[in-house]
Amino acid sequence: MKSSFRTVALIGKYKSPDVAGPLLELAAFLERRKVKVLIDRLTASQVKEARYPVLALEDLGHEVDLAIVIGGDGTMLNIARTLAPHDVALVGVNQGRLGFLTDISVETMIATIGAILDGKFVAEDRMLLEGQVFSGAKTVFEALAFNDVVVSKGPKGSMLEVEVRIDGQFIYNQRGDGLIVATPTGSTAYALSSGGPIVHPSLSVMALVPVSPHTLSNRPIVISSGCTVEIIVRDDPEPRAHFDSHTRYDLREGDRVVVRRYPRMVSLLHPEGHSYYGMLREKLNWNRE
């Protein structure tokens, strides 16, 4: 990550009517700070009066030092996966509901982004997962995930049966609604609602969380991020693999979903004074002192 940010990408929530105003306000502020502003092509289609250079999201990673995402955590997930190969730092301005990843409010964004440009921020590296689907020996699909890779039952509602292996060792057969492989970031998403543990983002681990297992002894387990997880579909008429709920692949019996840690990290920038525990206390409505 570069020590100063001279070229910044602005990316808004797709098809959100509320993006244009904050984005243009922020773009004008960045111009006054002598920062070059680029806008994602899909975002630009919603901001008709924008006069800034426009690039496809896939191309922004080659041009910018920093990406500012205006939206919710779902928007941030998609941007993080796309820009992860390019070592672009990310800042999130929250227009969503919870905002675990987008922790700057629209009301304070100008002051906060100004402080970040001055070098006053907390940087936090987050890991991603890379998932591959194998049919026999052939790779038929692959994708990155910032939150989780999920193998789940199909739309017919039949119980899913999978075999789980870690580093080639047989762990268990599981019947239920599915299995989540989550990063520490994803531990506060689907995995949390399925009874998984909250994992601090500084830890280099993955959490395996069963979804409604038929046998109650199938419990969540936390393993090293250096492990390789293999999920083999044994029985289900229409099983699916989901990657951050943004991308999916329809599986067949015998297909294998292999999940590993992605070698690159995503750098999230937070305001000075940011506390992960304080964020949990606020977002999860924990009792305060």
pLDDT per position as a tens digit, 32-45: 999 999 999 999 88
149, 215: one domain: yes
CA 209 to chain centre: 17
Give which of 174, 177, 152, 264 is closest to 221, Cα–Cα: 174
In tens, the pLDDT along 116-135 reads 999 999 999 999 999 999 99
Q: How confident is the model at residue 1 (pLDDT cuts 50, 70, 90)?
A: very low
- Give the pLDDT of residue 289: 60
What percent of the chain is helix, strand and coil (3-state, nearest 5)? 20, 40, 40
CB 102 within 8 A of CB 270: no
Is position 132 within any domain? yes
Give tens-digit pLDDT for 72-121.
888 999 999 999 999 999 999 998 666 788 889 999 999 999 999 999 99
Mean pLDDT value across residues 203-209: 98
Assess if residue 289 is contained within a domain.
no
DSSP for 177-212, written as a single string: SEEEEE-TGGGGTHHHHTTPPP--TTS-EEEEEEES
Side-chain half-sphere exposure of 123, counting CA atoms within 13 A: 15
Q: Which of 96, 119, 142 is the last residue of a domain?
A: 119
The residue from 65, 73, 103, 255 that is catalytic is 73
Query: Angle at which helices 20-32 and 109-117 pack, to 10 degrees?
Result: 40
Question: 47-56, 104-113, 183-192, 226-235: which range is least confident on average?
Answer: 47-56
Say yes or no: 142 and 250 in one domain: yes
Mean pLDDT (whole number) for 160-183: 97
* HSE-up of residue 267 (Cα within 13 Å, Cβ side): 15
Whether residue 264 is predicted with pLDDT greater than 50 in this model: the reply is yes
Rounded to an integer, what distance in angstroms lies between the CA atom of residue 286 and that of residue 272?
Answer: 22
User: Taking residues 203-210, what's their average pLDDT?
Assistant: 98
Q: Are residues 54 and 88 in the same domain?
A: yes
Residue 241 lies in a domain: yes
- Per the domain annotation, does 285 fall within a domain? no
Query: Quick one: pLDDT at residue 265?
Result: 96
Q: Domain span at residue 136?
A: 128-263
For the chain, how many structural domains are there in total? 2
Q: Which of 93, 119, 145 delimits the end of a domain? A: 119
Q: What pLDDT was estimated at residue 288?
A: 64
- Whether the CB-CB separation of 58 and 78 falls below 8 Å is answered with no
Domain match, 259 and 144 both: yes
Which distant-in-sequence residues (6+ apart) come within 8 Å of 278 by Cβ? none
What pLDDT, on the 0 to 100 scale, is given for residue 97?
A: 67
Confidence at residue 96, expressed as pLDDT on a 0 to 100 scale: 64
Closest CA to 253 of 238, 274, 270, 265: 238
Does 99 lie in the same domain as 42?
yes
pLDDT reading at 172 higher than 50: yes
Q: Which residues contact 138 (CB under 8 A, 6 or more apart)?
A: none
Return d(Cα 179, Cα 210) in angstroms, integer: 4
- pLDDT band at residue 267 under the 50/70/90 scheme: very high
Q: What CATH code is carried by the domain that includes residue 254?
A: 2.60.200.30
pLDDT at 54: 93
- For the question of residue 40 being annotated catalytic, the response is no
Q: Which of 119, 146, 169 is the last residue of a domain?
A: 119
Residue 15 lies in a domain: yes
Residue-level pLDDT at 161: 95
- Supply the pLDDT for residue 129: 98
- Calculate mean pLDDT across residues 53-71: 94
Mean pLDDT over residues 216-245, rounded?
93
